[in-house]
């Protein structure tokens, strides 16, 4: 899928309008308000959806949400050339939406940053755009892209950690996402100055469907500990 707009018209592709996401978001927020039940909105990608969630929270609705790094980093221009590695659902939007996502992260409207990690075999992506599967791998690039928000002054480093670790754990009731004594030893050691380039050969994922191939990154995980056991250690 791709966003309905200038780029979709230019490429001759059918686009998904922002209002499709915004209608669904408004419905869920209104139902949560009516029933008093909590609702979590996944993959927020439009300025309108951010506004609806912000207004719902201001009214006391139990609504939380997440977005993914590609929605605050890329626009639908990444699809030019019929790049299937930039095809996802919801689709990449436009610059105004990217700005709104950042604003939503900054003011607390958006609670979490998720990876939206969706691996696909080359056979699912190396086809005509309309036939390609939706989804990209996001796990390995999520941290450096989130660190860009820190570099830009959108979030502080503690706020970024809150969006990626503490808030998701809290919303899921896991009792994790913290370094408090007695908490599970789930730790990621971050090197904010690590310089690296996204390449198919360098990605640990068996799938290579990333829209960031060839891009320079700063920051990454040096070591990951799960339950007190080292499960990943960067070699260089």
CATH topology of domain 6-180: TIM Barrel (3.20.20)
**64 bridge partner residues:** 40
SS3 223: strand
Predicted TM-score (pTM) of this structure: 0.95
Q: How far apart are CA 140 and CA 221, in angstroms?
A: 9
Q: Compute the C-alpha angle 141/81/204, nearest 5°.
A: 25
Q: How far apart are CA 29 and CA 52, in angstroms?
A: 8
Q: Is the pLDDT of residue 1 over 90?
A: no
How far CA 53 is from CA of 4, 120, 144, in Å, comes to 22, 31, 26
Q: Of these residues, 116, 124, 126, 191, which one is catalytic?
A: 116
Q: How far apart are CA 46 and CA 94, in angstroms?
A: 9
| Residue pLDDT, tens place only, 25-37 | 999 999 999 999 9
The question of whether 116 is a catalytic residue gets the answer: yes
| Residue pLDDT, tens place only, 165-198 | 999 999 999 988 888 898 999 999 999 999 999 9
- For residue 227, give every residue at least 6 positions away whose Cβ sits within 8 Å of its Cβ, in sequence order, or none: 184, 185, 186
| Residue pLDDT, tens place only, 118-162 | 999 999 999 999 999 999 999 999 999 999 999 999 999 999 999
Q: How far apart are CA 179 and CA 212, in angstroms?
A: 31
Angle between helix 47-58 and 18-35 (nearest 10): 10
Q: Is the pLDDT of residue 89 over 80?
A: yes
């Amino acid at each position: 899928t791709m966003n309905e707009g200038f780029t979709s018209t230019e490429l001759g592709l059918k686009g998904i309008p922002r209002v499709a996401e915004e209608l669904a978001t408004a419905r869920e927020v209104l139902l949560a308000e009516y029933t008093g039940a909590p609702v979590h909105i996944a993959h927020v990608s439009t300025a309108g959806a951010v506004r609806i969630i912000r207004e719902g929270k201001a009214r006391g609705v139990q609504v939380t949400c997440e977005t993914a790094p590609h929605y605050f980093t890329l626009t639908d221009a990444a699809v030019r050339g019929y790049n299937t590695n930039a095809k996802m659902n919801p689709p990449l939007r436009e610059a105004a939406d990217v700005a709104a996502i950042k604003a939503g992260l900054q003011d607390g409207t958006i609670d979490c940053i998720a990876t939206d990690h969706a691996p696909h075999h080359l056979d699912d992506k190396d086809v005509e755009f309309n036939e390609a599967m939706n989804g990209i791998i996001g796990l390995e690039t999520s941290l450096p892209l989130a660190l860009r928000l820190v570099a830009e002054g959108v979030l502080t480093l503690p706020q970024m950690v809150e969006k990626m670790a503490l808030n998701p754990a809290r919303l899921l009731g896991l009792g994790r996402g913290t370094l408090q004594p007695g908490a599970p030893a789930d730790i990621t050691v971050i090197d904010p100055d690590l310089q690296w380039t996204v390449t198919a050969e360098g990605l640990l994922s068996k799938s290579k469907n990333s829209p960031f191939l060839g891009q320079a990154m700063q920051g990454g995980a040096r070591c990951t500990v799960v339950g007190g056991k080292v499960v990943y250690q960067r070699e260089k």
